[in-house]
Amino acid sequence: MNFERNILITGGAGFIGSHLVRLMVERYPTYRIINLDLLTYAGNLANLKDVEGCANYLFVRGDVCDRGLVEEIFERYGVDGVIHLAAESHVDRSIREPFAFARTNIMGTLTLLDVARRGWEGRMEGKRFHHISTDEVFGALEMSGGMFTEQTKYDPHSPYSASKASSDHFVRAYHDTYGLPTVITNCSNNYGPYQFPEKLIPLFINNIRQRKPLPLYGRGENVRDWLYVEDHARAIDLVFHHGRVGESYNVGGNNEWRNIDLVRVLIKTVDRLLGNPEGYSDSLVRFVTDRPGHDARYAIDSTKLQKELGWEPSLQFEEGIKKTVRWYLDNQEWMDSVTSGDYLRYYEEMYSGR
């Protein structure tokens, strides 16, 4: 079968990647969507069960640092677009294992950029390399105000954000030096189904259900700007197709919450859905030692994306949180398999012959 386009999505078995793969496979039946994912602890093919049989979807298990494999994929499928999400993504892990973050986030991005540059040399027309980045590259805002714009100077504080900042710099360098047609999006905190339960929202929903403590870092006063994951996937689709080459676009929900207030909403929502009395799980909150280098506040100004490409978030936070809590409570099997590590053993066996 001939496809109109052949798009390589990396990290498509992760949280955001799986939502993006689903959107692209369903919205563009004439595109072949190739999902390259190493299936680390964070990657899970169960996130994509509903698309695995689609004729325009292909899964390849592999490492974005494996240059030979990436070249083979480019050649075999005639890749003409890349949307790069594969990364080590959890700040706390980056504090314990910074080298793993440098390897995947910097060297992996550089490998993809270089294969794209060589593969597309002399015929860059119609090609597109979209790098998925984060608002964390901008550092921390004062509690008193201000927002990150595309002009904000990079000021990363964690090994995770330093590795993402570095990868963003390489993407710009490949555009400026080699004319690679790149775009970057910097998004705020995502929430929704299929997020690995090391991140605040799924971790706390699961802990409330199991009546385990809820470890809030510091005084719980840090502020994050939350966006429903499907709204991020729609923004990526728009920027990939219509964003201006060489540009970056901020993506955010204009939806700031102090962690402590967000946790109160989570407790209330879970208790209500489980039929517990009001206040039943309040006592689970524990204030614990703060994350080293914990950024005080993030807030994204996405005016450019809204004005240029007409994007706006579709879900109100209250609705999104209810939907998310309900999903985790209804998908206990997914949560149990992820927390028990069963799915990792399953995929190790399945792919052991590769």
Give the interface segment with ligand DAU, choosing from 44-52, 101-109, 130-138, 273-281 (CB under 6 A).
130-138
Distance CA 107, CA 110 (A): 5
Active site residue 298: no
Q: From ligand DAU, ligand NAD, none, which one binds at residue 298 (CB under 5 to 8 Å depending on kind)?
A: ligand DAU
The yes or no reply on residue 19 touching ligand DAU (CB under 6 A) is: no
Distance CA 157, CA 165 (A): 10
**Cβ-based nearer residue to ligand NAD, 103 or 264:** 103
Distance CA 127, CA 293 (A): 39
Distance CA 259, CA 159 (A): 22
The yes or no reply on residue 64 touching ligand NAD (CB under 6 A) is: yes
Query: Which of 136, 231, 237, 271 does the annotation list as catalytic?
Result: 136
Query: Which of 63, 135, 231, 301 does the annotation list as catalytic?
Result: 135
Smallest separation, CB 232 to ligand DAU (Å):
10
The yes or no reply on residue 134 touching ligand DAU (CB under 6 A) is: yes
**Cβ-based nearer residue to ligand DAU, 21 or 165:** 165
Active site residue 135: yes
Please name which of 18, 35, 44 lies closest in space to residue 340, comparing C-alpha atoms.
44
Distance CA 86, CA 176 (A): 23
- Reported in sequence order, the residue ranges of the chain that DSSP labels E, i.e. its strands, are 5-10, 31-37, 57-61, 81-84, 128-134, 182-187, 189-191, 214-217, 223-228, 248-251, 256-258, 285-288
Question: How many CA atoms, within 13 angstroms, populate the side-chain half-sphere of residue 72?
Answer: 11
Q: From ligand DAU, ligand NAD, none, which one binds at residue 25 (CB under 5 to 8 Å depending on kind)?
A: none
Look at the chain and count its residues.
Answer: 354
Question: How many CA atoms, within 13 angstroms, populate the side-chain half-sphere of residue 127?
Answer: 24
Q: Tell whether the torsion through CA atoms of 135, 140, 144 and 150 is positive or negative.
A: negative
Quickly list DSSP for 157-180.
Answer: -SHHHHHHHHHHHHHHHHHHHH--
Retrieve residue 72's tokens. 């083979």
Q: Tokens 């093919």 label which residue?
A: 45
| Binder of ligand NAD out of 9, 187, 262, 263 (CB under 6 A) | 187
Active site residue 50: no
Smallest separation, CB 317 to ligand DAU (Å):
15
Distance CA 243, CA 258 (A): 32
Distance CA 243, CA 237 (A): 10
Cα 159 from chain centroid?
17
Using CB under 6 A as the binding rule, the residues of this chain from 192 to 231 that contact ligand DAU are 199-200, 203, 215-217, 222, 224
For residue 255, CA distances in Å to 147, 186, 228, 258 come to 12, 16, 10, 10
**Cβ-based nearer residue to ligand NAD, 40 or 158:** 40
**Cβ-based nearer residue to ligand DAU, 189 or 255:** 189
Using CB under 6 A as the binding rule, the residues of this chain from 259 to 278 that contact ligand DAU are 259
Q: From ligand NAD, ligand DAU, none, which one binds at residue 37 (CB under 5 to 8 Å depending on kind)?
A: ligand NAD
The values of phi and psi at residue 84, to 5°, are -105, 105
Give the interface segment with ligand NAD, choosing from 11-19, 212-220, 259-267, 313-321 (CB under 6 A).
11-19
Residue facing ligand NAD at closest CB distance: 14
The yes or no reply on residue 259 touching ligand NAD (CB under 6 A) is: no
The yes or no reply on residue 85 touching ligand NAD (CB under 6 A) is: yes
| Binder of ligand NAD out of 25, 39, 137, 300 (CB under 6 A) | 39
Smallest separation, CB 19 to ligand NAD (Å):
8
**Cβ-based nearer residue to ligand DAU, 158 or 182:** 158
Site residues, ligand DAU (CB under 6 A): 89-91, 134-136, 188-189, 199-200, 203, 215-217, 222, 224, 259, 291, 298
Site residues, ligand NAD (CB under 6 A): 10-11, 13-17, 37-40, 42-43, 63-65, 85-87, 89, 104, 108, 132, 134, 164, 187, 189-190, 196
